[in-house]
Amino acid sequence: MTDDPSTSKLAEGIGAAQDPRTLPWAPNGNGPRSEAEAVELARRRGIVIPEDIAFHFRDDAVPQGAYAVYNHFTSIRRYRWSDFYAKERINVKVRRSVLESDEAIVAVIAHEMYELNALRELFEHRETIPGIEIIDMVKPGVPRNLHDRAWDAADEHVRAMRCEETC
């Protein structure tokens, strides 16, 4: 079987954020945050970011229409948790425009961490997981899958931020 989707029925997917419900996110009055400030802000908001996760804000590594990406999956492969690592870290690439809004920072990082933390927990109980199963968990448009629940959690963080200012 070939990896070319035009010549096969290979399913592919990426772990990527795409469907927030709290848009539009308010821009920062003082301009964009630095990458370090963004990660620190997310941690202060209660988002669990293990030390083996690294965020990189680069547009060239994020697919069109997505805010972030952490992996690419194919249906014909089985994955181990170690497959998520590049050297000693799991690299999450985030669109640079996210740095322009604290709400966007919190939403996107919360979303990605919800997915990654849930996948990590699954791998604690399973040595491998078929790619098609992971794809079904993280693809947009599937009600109540991991991706959808990750946006619910991210939106909850943003609503809490908004409530602190207006409630």
Q: Decide: 112 and 14 in contact? Cβ < 8 Å.
A: no
Looking at every residue in the chain, the average pLDDT score rounds to 90
pLDDT of residue 166: 87
Q: How does pLDDT run across 73-98, given as a tens digit for each residue?
A: 999 999 999 999 999 999 999 999 99
Q: What is the tens place of the pLDDT at every residue in 56-74?
A: 999 999 999 899 999 999 9
